[in-house]
Amino acid sequence: MSASPVFSSAVMGRPFIFSPRSSPRSITEKTAKKTSEILAQVGALSKLAAIVPASRLDARPSPEMVSSGIPQLDSLTGGLARGCLTEICGTASSGRTSVLLFALARATQRGEVCALVDASDAFDPVSAAAAGMELSRLLWVRCGEKYPLRKPPSAALTGRGKTGDSYQGMPSGIPQAAGNGCGFSRWESQLGQMLKVTDLLLQSNGFGMIALDLGDVPAQNARRIPLASWFRFRRAVEHTPTALLVLERQPIAGSCSSVLVKVSGARSQVSGKKLSAVSRQLSGNPPMHSELAHSELLDQFEIIAELLCSRLERKPVQSTASFKSRAAWAE
């Protein structure tokens, strides 16, 4: 018996399956041709004409960046992103309010209309004016308990000035003592107002910058803001020319913020030793105030900004930046 191979198809009297005309290469060409024909037909349908294949989708456009007014901070973060939420966090006396006011001042100088939602009613117009803010372009919303305007008490009791009905300024003579208003419900009420007001401002459009000041709100209260609210704000501000800033003690917006910057005052770290020395002097011997001039602390106040998180595509060149602030009276 011969050992020549016999193909089963030949045995059955049928032609070979893989004829020369049906090679794999020709099948691929056929498939490609048919696919292109089908795609052409699909593309011709009006309903499907607007559908773009996923492979051809462009990357999401980068947000427009505006200057915060502080070159060092701009080089760290790339500026403040329009259509995004930026968080600035820091402890007391860290310089976070100075950064916020300066960013607002810079925006108003550009001719933009800005809004400050002040959850704790702590905004100081004098500081803002000193930072160069055009106050007529800033909408100030003072959250707090709704109460009728108090008339200026008499001088015999308080020493406040004659101011008229429109006066609501900071008392400069004898300030009134604050009531026990640090309760939990107080912050809930103020935060509720802040959320409602922010929603309205974001819906009204046209603001160049909206800042939420939660600097005095305790962290445990600020964390009670539902994450859904921050998602809503992020969605509302998206694709708008508004830069949304949040000033807080600790990060609270989670993944909703595009940039998270932590601010700390270098003075407390660098000069701590020196201040402790003065402190000992103050407690023991008569104080020697000449050793530390007033301008030494408040002027050239060094602020360190640290970029904790950035969800923008721009890769930061550094993680920290430091800059100095000046006192309002310093030229």
Partner 1 sequence: MFACIFIPDFSVQAILRFEPELRVCPVAVLNGRPPLEKVVALNERARQTGVEIGATRSQLEAWENLALRARSESQEISAQAVLLDCAQSFSPEMEDTSPGTVLLNLAGLEPLLGPLPKIARDLAQRVSHVGLEANIAVTANPDAALLAAHGFSGVTLIPEGHEAERLGNLPVDVLLESFSSSFSSDAEEAARWVETFDRWGIRKLRALAALPEIPVSERLGQQGLRLQKLARGAASRNLRVLEPQLIFAESVELEYPIVLLEPLAFLLNRMLEQVCARLRARALAAQELHLNLDLAAAQSNGCASFTRTLRLPTPMLDAKVFLKLLQLDLQAHPPGAPIVKIHLAAEPARPRALQSGLFQPVFPEPEKLELTLARIAGIVGEGRVGAVELLDTHREGAFAVRRFAPVELPPADPKAKQSGNRKKDMSRPENDSACQVEEKFEENAKEKMSAVIALRLFRPPLGASVTLREAKPVRLRCLQREDIAGEIVWIAGPWRSSGDWPEQEGWSREEWDIAVSAESGLVLYRLVQDKLSGKWFLEGMYD
- Using CB under 8 A, which residues numbered 252 to 271 contact partner 1? 264-265, 267-269
Q: Comparing C-alpha atoms, which of 128, 33, 108, 127 is closest to residue 67?
A: 108
Q: Of the two residues 28 and 168, which places its CB atom closer to partner 1 in the complex?
A: 168
Q: CB 228 → partner 1: shortest distance, Å? A: 19
Q: CB 39 → partner 1: shortest distance, Å? A: 33
Binding characters for partner 1, 55-94, by CB under 8 A (x = yes): ------xxxxxxxxxxx--xx--xxx----------xxxx
Q: Comparing C-alpha atoms, which of 203, 219, 267 is closest to residue 87?
A: 219
Give the CA dihedral 127, 113, 110, 106, nearest 10 degrees.
30
Among 27, 167, 226, 318, binds partner 1 (CB under 8 A): 167
How far, in Å, CA of 42 to CA of 301, rounded?
Answer: 65
Using CB under 8 A as the binding rule, whether residue 232 contacts partner 1 is answered as no
Using CB under 8 A as the binding rule, whether residue 187 contacts partner 1 is answered as no
Pairing of strands 301-310, 259-265: antiparallel
Q: Which region among 2-10, 24-32, 123-131, 223-231 touches partner 1 (by CB under 8 A)?
A: 123-131
The set of residues, in sequence order, having a beta carbon less than 8 Å from that of 261 and lying 6+ positions away, is 73, 76, 77, 86, 87, 88, 89, 305, 306, 307, 308
Using CB under 8 A as the binding rule, whether residue 119 contacts partner 1 is answered as no
Count of positions on this chain that bind partner 1 (CB under 8 A): 130
Among 85, 88, 101, 260, binds partner 1 (CB under 8 A): 101
Q: Of the two residues 19 and 136, which places its CB atom closer to partner 1 in the complex?
A: 136
299-329 burial: b if 16+ Cβ within 10 Å, else e: eebbbbbbbeebebeeeeeeeebebebeeee
The set of residues, in sequence order, having a beta carbon less than 8 Å from that of 321 and lying 6+ positions away, is 72, 73, 75, 76, 304, 305
Q: Of the two residues 2 and 283, which places its CB atom closer to partner 1 in the complex?
A: 283
Q: CB 181 → partner 1: shortest distance, Å? A: 8
Among 125, 227, 311, 318, binds partner 1 (CB under 8 A): 125
Q: CB 172 → partner 1: shortest distance, Å? A: 4
Q: Of the two residues 26 and 276, which places its CB atom closer to partner 1 in the complex?
A: 276
Cα R_g (the chain), whole angstroms:
32
Using CB under 8 A as the binding rule, whether residue 152 contacts partner 1 is answered as yes
The set of residues, in sequence order, having a beta carbon less than 8 Å from that of 306 and lying 6+ positions away, is 261, 262, 263, 264, 319, 320
Using CB under 8 A as the binding rule, whether residue 244 contacts partner 1 is answered as no
Using CB under 8 A as the binding rule, whether residue 130 contacts partner 1 is answered as yes
Give the DSSP per-residue string, 262-292: EEEEHHHHHSHHHHHHHHHHHHSSPP-GGGS
Using CB under 8 A as the binding rule, whether residue 122 contacts partner 1 is answered as yes
Q: Which region among 23-31, 224-232, 251-259, 297-305 touches partner 1 (by CB under 8 A)?
A: 297-305
Kindly list the distances between the CA atom of residue 159 and the CA atoms of 26, 51, 166, 179, in Å, as whole numbers in the listed order. 99, 71, 18, 19
Among 187, 230, 233, 323, binds partner 1 (CB under 8 A): 323
Among 38, 39, 155, 288, binds partner 1 (CB under 8 A): 155
Q: Of 6-35, which residues contact partner 1 (CB under 8 A)?
A: none
Cβ 41 vs Cβ 49: under 8 Å: no
Q: CB 184 → partner 1: shortest distance, Å? A: 15
Among 3, 172, 185, 273, binds partner 1 (CB under 8 A): 172
Using CB under 8 A as the binding rule, whether residue 200 contacts partner 1 is answered as yes
Q: Would you call 303 helix, strand, or coil by DSSP?
A: strand
